[in-house]
Amino acid sequence: MVDLPPGVVRTPEARFDDLPGFPFSPSYETVGGREGPGLRMHALDEGPRDGPTLLLMHGEPTWSYLYRKLVPILVEEGLRVVAPDLIGFGRSDKPVEKTAYSFERHVSWLHDFVRARDLRDVTLVTQDWGGPIGMAVLARDEARFARVVAANTMLHTAEPALAGRLAWSNHGVGQHDAQVNEGLLLWMAMSQRIEEFHASSAVQAATRTVVPQAVLDAYDAPFPDERFKAGMRQFPILIPVTRGDPGAAINRATWQRLASFERPFLTAFGDSDPGTGGWDAIFRERVPGAKGQPHTRLPDTGHFWQEDRGEEMAWRIAAFVRES
């Protein structure tokens, strides 16, 4: 019998048996614990322990399976690959109450993990929520990070200066109003209202290639029923759409630190991802370390570039680490 903290579920291990393209061994750390029992956080940890370290961060509504195409290539290139499952996702523990999840707690849980593994000289690779969470940890513990790859990610602050800059608008207007793209609002509302919320549906909808059914099933593997989906349902409504949102304050603090981040910072954004369209240009303008880097636009690539361009991006990331 597994002894779990109250109000927490853990996906049965059998759900992860024989997933296509995923032969990796699990590893775990305990995170949290300040307000009660800690939570078990899972991560892939492959490759040489003395090699340069990559921290591959997933977002909504996926897990470390997202990076399965990249891991073998990166390891072959002599890199250590660490790909955590955020709390509520993958093999990590899952509080059943949506209110257990906040932007701040996700940042704190990941920071605990990074410190527990004592990760150093880290290349942070981000996508979706992996960007705001991963870069917030960087902002709080910058000495551990050597470089960043920002790919189909964002740092929402709802500031008026973002007007006209984003494919999906999300910015303040005047003193007390906001303009938010309808697609973003629909995504936030759907996450709360839809009766059956499946990770696989979101992955296929935001990927240009046709994802095999067995792979789609693997994305659903961590979430056998509604009790396991609280984290997945909560992420969309944590997106800051007002200037006073707690998440906007976290992102402002991250931007403040990135404004002096001179280590290499690479952007690689899909050309078919409206949810993050425009953010690559903002990163390149605001982060000093982005100057002179081999930034790229990925053709015919949706939100989940790991499915559309996984192997290609693995080679780009390896070259970025080697050459910078």
Active site residues per annotation: 128, 273, 303
User: Using an 8 Å Cβ cutoff, are 221 and 19 in contact?
Assistant: yes
Query: Strands, E, within 114-254: which ranges?
Result: 122-128, 145-153, 170-173, 177-180
Taking the C-alpha atoms of residue 184 and residue 273, their distance in angstroms, rounded to an integer, is 12
Taking the C-alpha atoms of residue 110 and residue 130, their distance in angstroms, rounded to an integer, is 10
Closest Cα partner for 111 from 149, 139, 82, 90? 139
Taking the C-alpha atoms of residue 215 and residue 21, their distance in angstroms, rounded to an integer, is 9
For 145, half-sphere exposure in the C-beta direction (CA atoms, 13 angstrom radius) is 27
Q: At how many degrees (to 10) do helices 103-117 and 130-140 cross?
A: 60
